[in-house]
Structure 1
C-alpha cells in the first residue's frame, strides 16, 4: 500500500505486476474501495501484460475524507496524481460506475495522459439512467442500507443485500468474496456524509456529453443488459458521445463484474490497449 496526494487529499494506491507492463489504472465506483477490483482479476490482467494500479477515490477506503464539496474534475485530478506518483506519463484507464465517469473526465480533460479508455456500467449524465426499474432498485437499496452496520458481520450482510439488488441476474454472486471485502473494508468504510459528497460530485458535473467529444483515446464502453443502475441506454449514450467508441453489452450482467465474464472483458481491454 502506497500513498500520494492531490492538494490536501491523501490517496491510497497499490500495484500489481512488473513495471515493464502496460500501465493500467483501475478506478472504482461510488463508496467502493479499491479492493472492489478483485485481486484475481488484477492478477489476470497482469498475466496479459499489464502493470496494474488501483486506488481509493477520495471519500473511500484508506484515502482522505474531503472537507468540502467537489466535482468529478477534482476526482479526475486525483487519478492524475496517482499516475504522477507512479511515474506514468500516460496510462490505459478502466473505470466502473462513478469510476467510469471519473475516467471519462480524465480522458476528456487530460488527453495527453490517457492511452485508452474502458468505461463500464457508467453514463455521460447522472440522470440518463433513471427508469422505473432503476427507481425500484434505488428504493430497495435505501431500505437495505438505512442502518449503519454495527460491526464487520453486519457489514457483510449489508453488502450481500446490495449485490442481490444491483448485481448480475445471469451469474452467481461470489458470496465469500463479497463477505471478505465487506469485512476487510469495514474499518475504512465510506460513511453517509462521504457517500453524499461523491453522489453530489456526479450531479454537480451535470451532462458531460459535449465535453466527451474531446476524448481522443480508443474507447470501449461496457454495459450489462441486466443492470438496473446504469442500463444499456446509459452505455449507448456514453458510446455515442465519444468519437469512435465501441459499445459491448453482456446478457445477465448487472451492476457488477461477474467472474465468468472476466476473460471476455480482459480480452476487450487488451485489444483496446493494442490500439492506444
Structure 2
C-alpha cells in the first residue's frame, strides 16, 4: 500500500478528503470520483496512466465514508430502512458529497476541471455540474443513473448479493469483492481474479473507518437524494455518458435516461460491458474520454 502517495485536504465544513495526483503538475486538471464503497485505488492504473500520459493532471479522491477520508458519526441506516429506501433524518445526500468534490477543487485551486464519475461517483459528478457549473469544463458519467426509480434499477439477482452478510476480515472482504465483481463484470470482460484480489486487498488496508457503516450511509445518500432528473436538465457542461449493456446493478436504462436528461449529451453503449472498469477495458474507455475532453478543449 502506497500511503506515501496520499494527500489530504481539510475542507471548510471540517471534512477531511484524501486524494492523489498523477500526471504533469501543469497539466489540465481531471477529477475522478469513484462509486459506492470504492476508494481512489479502484480506478484502473491503466486508465489513470492513459490520461496522465496524454498530459492531463489526474486527481483521484476518496469520498466521505470511504478510504482515508472522513467517516460520518451518525449511525448507519438499518436493513429495513435500506430495503424500504427510507433514509434516517440525519443522513447526508449526494449534494453533500458533491460539496466535498467542489471543495477539493477549490482547495487545490484547479477549477474548472474535467469531471469524471462512475456509478455513485457519476451521480456526484452530475450534481457538481448542475450546482457548480463554473467548476466543470466537461462531465463524463459512467454507468450511472438519474435517481428516477423507474430506470437504472438492480437485477433481482444482485439484491441477494447486496443483502449478504458483510465481511469481517480481509479474507472475507476479498471473497465478497470477487463474488460481486464476477457478477457485475459483464459478458465480454470477465473477472481477472489476480487484478481484483489486489484491488480488494488494497481497499481493505486503506480503510480508515467502519467500511460497512460507511457503505450503508453512502447508499442512504443516494436514496435520500431522490429523482434528480430536473436538476440534470440544467447541466451546461459538454457531457459524455458511458455504460455497458450488461449492467446488473445500474440497468442500462439509467444511462439512457441520463443522456436524455442532459442537453446535448453524447451516449456510448459498450457491448458486453457490465458495471466494472477492468484493465482489459481501461484503454478503450480512456480513448473515449480523452477524445471527449480534447474535442471540447479544441473549440
Scaled by the length of structure 2, the TM-score of the pair is 0.86
Q: For the structure 1 residues 243 and 213, does the alpha-carbon distance in structure 2 shift closer, same or farther, using more than 3 Å as the test? A: same
1:187 CA drift (Å): 3.4
Q: 2:34 aligns with which of 22, 28, 33?
A: 28
Task: Give the secondary structure class of the aligned counterpart of 2:229.
Answer: coil
Whether 2:79 is the aligned partner of 1:79: answer no
Map 1:51-66 → 2, pairs under 5 A: 51-66=57-72
**3-state secondary structure, aligned to 2:268:** strand
Question: Which 4+ residue blocks in structure 1 deviate beyond 4 angstroms?
Answer: none
Question: Quick one: distance in 2 between partners of 1:72 and 1:147?
Answer: 23
Q: State the shift of 1:159 in Å.
A: 0.9
Specify which of 289, 295, 298 is matched with residue 269 of structure 1.
Answer: 289
Tell me by how many angstroms 1:51 deviates: 0.6
Distance in 1 (alpha carbons) for counterparts of 2:226 and 2:173: 32
Aligned residues: 271
Question: How far apart are residue 64 of structure 1 and its match?
Answer: 0.8
Q: CA RMSD in A?
A: 1.5
Partner of 2:161: 140
Matches within 5 A, 1:120-135: 120-125=142-147, 127=149, 128-130=151-153, 134-135=155-156
Q: Give me the whole-angstrom Cα distance separating, in 2, the residues matched to 1:147 and 1:103.
A: 28
Task: Please give the residue correspondences for 1:7-46 in structure 2 after superposition, counting only pairs within 5 Å.
Answer: 7-46=13-52
Give 1:70 shift: 0.6
Q: Which residue of 2 aligns with 1:4?
A: 9
Aligned mate of 1:215, from 235, 259, 270 = 235
Distance 1:62 1:126 in 2: 31
Question: Cα offset for 1:17?
Answer: 0.7
Gaps of 5+ in 2: 1-5, 75-90
Q: What CA distance in whole angstroms lies between the structure 1 residues aligned with 2:120 and 2:57?
A: 23
| Deviation of the 1:126 alpha carbon | 5.6
